[in-house]
A and B are shown apart, each in its own frame.
Chain A
Amino acid sequence: MKSVTRQKNLEEIIRMLGKARKVSLVGCGTCPTMAETGGLREVEEMARALEEREVTVASTTVLPVACEPLPDEARNGFRSLLGEAQAVLVLSCSLGVRMVSDYTDLAVLPALDTLFIGREAEPGFFVEECAQCGDCLLGDYAGICPIVHCAKSLFNGPCGGSVDGKCEVDPGLPCGWQLIYDRMKALGRLEELSVIRPYKDWSKSLSGGARRMRIPVPPPEKKSEEG
């Protein structure tokens, strides 16, 4: 599981649609299918719900992986699928919504909220594991991220609200620092928790516009002098 998503409520979707009375629906065969938020079944359910609200559904389709670019030769076919639609409603993570925006000039609207990068800890139960801070700390905290798992993202130990392994914010939420402490103890690494952690460099996180990353292209090999 990568992107964990949740469906927006129908009222918000209707509000976003505005004057558009004819829409095409696009789902995703990967994460939203596993999370049961935007697979084949959910797209059909959404179509029925919209028809009940007097929104005509021009077409429904489920892309295998909405976050992967559609090959150029498939884009015309995709556009013809949209037919007379006035807007496209995408049941995928925000990345899929963004990709679909590249294929059409129509308004492309999200039907899901993208919640977090997480794992399915038990069937039907998803837990966030990464805040994409851009500077992975898992190595220093025995594989448990304090930014995600501590409600206050503390770097130097649990706050005063950690009781019986639970976080004060929600009795159903394990205290991330109890998890870190227990795991570091099991690994014989408790001493490391006594070191004051350096200030975090948040500039690698959501701080400076869209983050970008380019895979370095190796310089072209020089032709051999003798050759």
Chain B
Amino acid sequence: MKSGSNLEKVLEAGHFAVTAEIGPPKSASARVIEAKGEQIGHAADAFNVTDHQTGVVRLCSLAACAILRRMGLDAVMQMLCRDANRIRLQGDVLGAVALGIRNILCLSGDHVKFGNHPEAKRVFDIDSVQLVKAVKDMRDERKFICGEEVGSEVPLFIGAVENPYADPFEFRAARLAKKVEAGADFIQTQAVYDVPKFRRWMEEVCAVGLDKKVHILAGIIPVKSVGMARYMQRYVSGVEVPDEMIRRLEGAKDVREEGIRIILEIIEEVKEIPGVHGIHVQAVGWEEVVPEIMERAGLLPRPVL
């Protein structure tokens, strides 16, 4: 075991894993995090907390993950290259481990332009591939980027993200290979709606044997309304929402129910794609739906290891 995290145990035991995202508040309220943990804590193996997602200031991932750990939940801390240099990033890795966090997700981060401080200076001292490598070297070589020794173990299960829908499409599998070479243990993907295109990407991934080296969790974003689906189709770069899905939602009497059915169908399909080891559910601002979706997908109860 690299970290002994629940997520690592579930994946290494060969179970189909479920991670779920918890959105932190724009406040200093630990209670908000705890309430979400209480509400959906039984419905996934580990819980990602976003870190100033889309460049909006919120309670930070490190603190929120520590709160979840206090409740006995497995947490995935998200770390961004956008807001911190290599000194801060490596220091936060140590802090996370000290607070019992055992999973880390390394991202470059949405551009500040999309956030609530678009005038902020973006850092990008290192990029997400390099962050993965830095954390792996801290864990496996006990070395900081500068080469100095890390004075303790750094047991972490290292994650990265990939967007199967972004361009250049021919380079996406190669980029994933780079993240795996850098040290990623698991990958959480951008939201999957266009299943055939995701399947094509997975075929490329499997063709070069990456599925044997890394656990891939397909991204799932439940759709609450026609407006949300349209917004994602138009404005969220790299998310492909098929027109057919929007037509289904428009024609539905009960949009919420139809949205859940669509998501259940997607989960059913991605489960069967070779190389997919789990799903990552990002119910942005709608976390309470996660237990229902997992129950109806036949993914509850979660394994206890």
A positions within 8 Å CB-CB of B = 151-165, 168-169, 175, 177-178, 181-182, 193-194, 196-197, 199-200, 202
Write out the residue numbers on chain B whose beta carbons fall within 8 Å of the beta carbon of A196: 129-130, 133, 178, 181-182
- Tally inter-chain residue pairs, CB-CB below 8 A: 99
| For the complex of A and B, 7 pairs with smallest distance between CB atoms | A160-B163, A168-B237, A156-B129, A161-B237, A157-B175, A154-B127, A160-B238
Q: Is B166 an interface residue (CB 8 A)?
A: yes
Write out the residue numbers on chain A whose beta carbons fall within 8 Å of the beta carbon of B168: 158, 162, 177-178, 181-182
Within the complex, which residue of A154, A160, A194, A199 is in contact with B166, where a contact is CB–CB below 8 Å? A160
Q: Is B161 an interface residue (CB 8 A)?
A: yes
Give the complex CA separation of A181 and B190 in angstroms: 22
Write out the residue numbers on chain A whose beta carbons fall within 8 Å of the beta carbon of B134: 199
Give the complex CA separation of A27 and B240 in angstroms: 51
With contacts A152-B108, A154-B108, A160-B238 known, what are 7 further pairs, Cβ within 8 A? A152-B109, A156-B127, A161-B238, A162-B166, A162-B167, A194-B174, A199-B126
Contact A199 B86 (CB under 8 A): yes
Q: Is B268 an interface residue (CB 8 A)?
A: no
Instruction: Identify which of B122, B162, B165, B175 gathers the most chain A CB atoms within 10 Å of its CB.
Output: B175
Contact A160 B86 (CB under 8 A): no
Contact B238 A155 (CB under 8 A): no
Write out the residue numbers on chain A whose beta carbons fall within 8 Å of the beta carbon of B109: 152
How distant is A66 from chain B, measured CB to nearest CB, in Å?
29
Contact B126 A158 (CB under 8 A): no
Interface set, chain B 165-185, CB cutoff 8 A to A = 165-168, 171, 174-175, 177-178, 181-182
> How many B residues have CB within 8 A of the partner chain?
36
Give the complex CA separation of A200 and B124 in angstroms: 10
Q: Which residue of A lies closest to B174 (CB)?
A: A194
How distant is A25 from chain B, measured CB to nearest CB, in Å?
30
Within the complex, which residue of A160, A169, A181 is in contact with B161, where a contact is CB–CB below 8 Å? A160
Contact A160 B237 (CB under 8 A): yes
Chain B 94-131 interface mask (CB, 8 Å, partner A; 1/0): 00000000000000111101000000001011111110
Q: Which residue of B lies closest to A175 (CB)?
A: B167
Instruction: Identify which of B111, B113, B165 gathers the most chain A CB atoms within 10 Å of its CB.
Output: B111
Contact A193 B113 (CB under 8 A): no
12 residue pairs of the A-B complex, CB under 8 angstroms, read A155-B126, A155-B129, A158-B167, A158-B168, A160-B161, A160-B190, A160-B238, A178-B167, A193-B171, A196-B133, A199-B130, A200-B126
